[in-house]
Amino acid sequence: MRMRPTLSWTPADDWPPGTTDVGPVADALRAGGVLVLSGAGISTESGIPDYRGEGGSLSRHTPMTYQDFLAGAQARRRYWARSHLGWRTFGRARPNAGHRAVAAFARHGLLAGVITQNVDGLHQAAGSEDVVELHGSLDRVVCLSCGALSARRELARRLEAANPGFDPVASGINPDGDADLTDAQVGDFQVLPCTVCGGVLKPDVVFFGEAVPPQRVEHCRALVREAASLLVLGSSLTVMSGLRFVRQAAQAGKPVLVVNRDPTRGDRHALTRVALPLGAALTAVAGRLDLPFDGRSAA
């Protein structure tokens, strides 16, 4: 029997409360060696919704799973039509104050690294370097047969040519770049094969129900081992792919700090959870550290 991946989590009544005091986060960064683990919540101020926050996409949308993607051509048609439309929105998204603050912390030597669960590339666009993309990136495409990698923009051009006039109005865009379209809007959208071998193409991202590559997980575990503390930004930590690093840090006695408006599955392991929007919280932290950076809202 095929099991659906964990998509939701409900905190117990005695779950630790949040605070608005950013002092502990500033103190950890001042000490240096902070490893950042970011989630979808850091990109909401760039116009990309998160999964589980207020108004999150899971209230209206079930993400494509790896098993469903492999199951048949119609599922892939539905995915690629929706993802092709969503890619246009992702391409217009710009880094916000949270992304720029993380880049500023790195420039001033306060970070041990950045791991992101996001697939939007906004950390890099803000100036962060050597970002570990835990779940891959939407700007790459991989062939499931021959393993060839190609740029998403190249596939987008091919899909535009193969589907002239395809411009439906989506009811929403999701953190995985999947636009909300009806089956009627998807219609007979033409899916294209790999130009190398004719195989099935998939965005180079980890779908729900798919395992993160083991070597990537080990790289992240090594970063946790080397860090002085772990700072979680905008993640509910519902799925194990991110929560395991929080547990690893806590078991090693390293401070874990969380900035997320809603409770997270990792709060019991955390020194504190700052319940503020990411942009405002990290701008305040930068101010305490006297670090100048462009904290304007995303365009």
113 in a labelled binding site: no
143 in a labelled binding site: yes
51 in a labelled binding site: yes
CB 181 within 8 A of CB 86: no
220 in a labelled binding site: no
135 is catalytic: yes
137 in a labelled binding site: no
49 in a labelled binding site: yes
Residue 201 phi, psi dihedral angles, 5° rounding: -95, 145
93, amino acid identity: A
8 in a labelled binding site: no
Using DSSP bridges, classify how beta strands 201-205 and 136-143 pair: parallel, antiparallel or unpaired.
Answer: antiparallel
CB 24 within 8 A of CB 136: no
Phi-psi region of 275 (alpha: psi -120 to 50; beta: other; left: phi over 0): beta
Label residues 223-253 b or e (16+ Cβ within 10 Å = b): bbeebebbbbbbbbbbbebbbbbbbbbbeee
Which of 99, 123, 135, 269 is the catalytic position? 135
C-alpha pair distances (Å), 169 with each of 39, 61, 86: 27, 16, 11
67 in a labelled binding site: no
47 in a labelled binding site: yes
151 in a labelled binding site: no
Residue 245 phi, psi dihedral angles, 5° rounding: -75, -30
CB 40 within 8 A of CB 264: no
DSSP character for 234?
A: S
CB 131 within 8 A of CB 124: yes
Report the Cα–Cα distance between both ends of the chain, in Å, rounded: 46
115 in a labelled binding site: no
41 in a labelled binding site: yes
198 in a labelled binding site: no
27 in a labelled binding site: no
Beta bridge mates, 257: 231, 272
150 in a labelled binding site: no
Residues annotated as catalytic are 135
Residues making up the annotated binding site are: 39-59, 117-120, 143, 146, 194, 197, 234-236, 278
Residues making up the annotated binding site for NAD(+) are: 39-59, 117-120, 234-236, 278
Residues making up the annotated binding site for Zn(2+) are: 143, 146, 194, 197
